[in-house]
Amino acid sequence: MYLAEIHGKIPSRFERLEDLLTSNIFSFFKYTNRQFFLKEYLKWLDIIVTNSEAEEAEFRFWPRFDDDTEPDLVLLAGPHYLLFEAKYFSDFGVETKNQKAQLIREIEGGINEARNEGKLFKIIAITADHYYRNDRFSIIPKEYFHLFKWTNWQRVTAFLQHTLEGNLKISTTDRSFAADLYSLLVKKNLRDFIGTQIFVNLQMVLDRRETVFFDYITASFRGDFIGFVNSLQFDKKIKPALMKILEKDTHGYFSSLGEVIQLNELNGNIFFKG
C-alpha cells in the first residue's frame, strides 16, 4: 500500500482518510522489529516499556466500547492501556443531544476498559497540527488531563528519520519498510521544519578551508566582477594628468559643493581595494 500511495496510484479521496494513515503507521510498528521501533517510539511519547513488553504488546485496531464508541487503536503494552485517537483532515466529534463529545466518551470508556484489564489508562491524540491547539482539547475536564497526551504525525516522521540515520543494526527489510513509510509521510507533507542545527552538524564533517572563493590570478575562466584595481593590471601605473580636464565653469552650469556644506580634505585613496 505504501508504494501505491507514494506513486500516486491511490485515489485522492482515499489518501485523505485518517483510518488509512493510522493503519499504515501502526501496522508498521506492529510488524517491524519492536525493540527498535515500537519501544523507541513509545519512549518519544514518554511511555517506557521493556523489550519483552514491546514484543508482547497487543494491537487492537478500531475496538468498540459498550456505547459504540470506536477508538482508532488500543495498544496494550506492559502495564499500559494506550488509547490512540487519530485525526488527519477531520476534527474530533463534538457533543450532541444524544451523546458526549468523542474525546470524553473515549476517556471514560477507556478508563473502564483499562480497569477491567488491570492496566494504567492514557489517551493519545494524534493530529496533523504543527503545534498544540488548545481549542481542540479545551473540552477535556481538568481531572482527566493527566491522562491525556497530544502528538502529531510529523513526530512519527522525525522519529523514522532519527532511527534510520542512527541505528545501524536495523535489518535490510525493516530499513526498507521504514524508508518507504518515511517517504510516504514526506509526500503527505507530514514533516516539520527541522531547524538549522543540521548545518551545524554538517560543518563538523566538512573539510575546513581558509577560503571558499577561487583565486582570480590562477583561475582559467572567470566572469564575475573582481574590482577595478585587480582587473586593470598594467605593467606601468597610470600617471596623473598634467593639465586640467575640466576648465572652470564660467556659465554657471555647476555649483561648488563647498558653497553648500563644509567639506574636509581627504588624503589618500577614495576607492577600496577589491
What string of DSSP letters covers 148-179? EEEEEHHHHHHHHHHHHHH-TTS-HHHHHHHH
State residue 150's pLDDT score.
97
State residue 167's pLDDT score.
81
**What does the block give as the cell for 194?**
527541522
Per-residue pLDDT of the chain (274 residues; tens, 9 = 90+): 566 666 666 666 665 688 999 999 999 999 999 999 999 999 999 999 999 999 999 999 999 999 999 999 999 999 999 999 999 989 999 989 989 999 999 999 999 999 999 999 999 999 999 999 999 999 999 999 999 999 999 999 999 999 999 988 999 999 999 999 999 999 999 998 766 665 666 666 566 666 666 666 666 666 666 666 665 555 666 666 666 655 555 555 556 655 656 667 777 776 666 5
pTM over 0.75: no
Q: What angle do CA 14, 177, 149 make, to 5 degrees?
A: 65
Q: Which residues pair with 85 in a beta bridge?
A: 125
State residue 168's pLDDT score.
83
Q: Which of 75, 24, 38 is nearest to 159 (CA)?
A: 38
State residue 192's pLDDT score.
83
State residue 261's pLDDT score.
62
Alpha carbons within 13 angstroms on the beta-carbon side of residue 229 total 6
State residue 1's pLDDT score.
56
Q: Which residues pair with 259 in a beta bridge?
A: none
Q: Which of 123, 25, 146, 128 is nearest to 74 (CA)?
A: 123
Q: Which of 184, 176, 186, 179 is nearest to 160 (CA)?
A: 179
45 to each of 39, 84, 168, 171, how far by Cα in Å? 10, 12, 23, 24
Q: How many helices (H) and strands (E) does the chain have?
A: 11, 5
State residue 265's pLDDT score.
74
Return the percent helix, strand and coil in the chain, to nearest 5. 40, 10, 50
Q: How far apart are CA 186 and CA 161, in angstroms?
A: 11
